Amino acid sequence: MSMNAWEKFKNIYLVDLLESFSIAMAITVILYYVFFTPNIVDGSSMEPNFHDKEFLVTDITIQWFGGLTKDQFHYDYKRGDIVIFKALNMELIKRVVGLPGDKVKISSGHVYINGELFKEDYLSPTTLTDMPFRYQSTFKEDEEVTVPQNKYFLMGDNRMYSEDSRYSDVGFIDRDNIKGRVILRIYPFTYFAQK
């Protein structure tokens, strides 16, 4: 191969390589920031399942399509989902406990949904859900409340140290304030993909 042909081959190869890399990066950025967004856990309200400074990936497509396709594909928020939402002028991470229309009651340290004990396998059997005393509560012990339409009742897994829907300053969370559902834990690597 002559020097001229070699230079031509090198230039074509380099251009192809740069084009492929650019396309791959563009697709990655679109996926990462349009369909999936990064989040970092701040605080201890979701311990022992999620810890401070853990890096998560949130699926935001459920926010766009969940309400529209709910009846056909059942693609919407479910009890037990971990979500990122806006409240108290910040983004928080909590777990969906009550869906729109659910009747929620906290009694003797346990959560009841629509009159039945809510089994929360992700919590230790000794975890009790007490009513908050530090701030104004949304409702009282043994009082059954109905989650309004288009709103959710969210709680942290660390029930003693979670400011969540039990508190009046958080309350029921409007669907529009939910950013998306956590689908992946990236860091630390020892917990990769666990959720």
- Please list the active-site residues: 45, 94
Place of tokens 């109905």: 146
Q: Comparing C-alpha atoms, which of 184, 182, 105 is closest to residue 140? A: 105
Quote the CA–CA distance of 12 and 52 in Å, as a whole number: 48
From residue 182, how far is each of 1, 83, 114, 123 by CA, in Å? 55, 6, 25, 17
- 54, 188 in Cβ contact below 8 A? yes
From residue 97, how far is each of 37, 104, 154, 164, 192 by CA, in Å? 23, 9, 5, 11, 25
DSSP string, 152-169: EEEE-SSGGG--STTBTT
> C-alpha 89: how far from its chain's center?
17
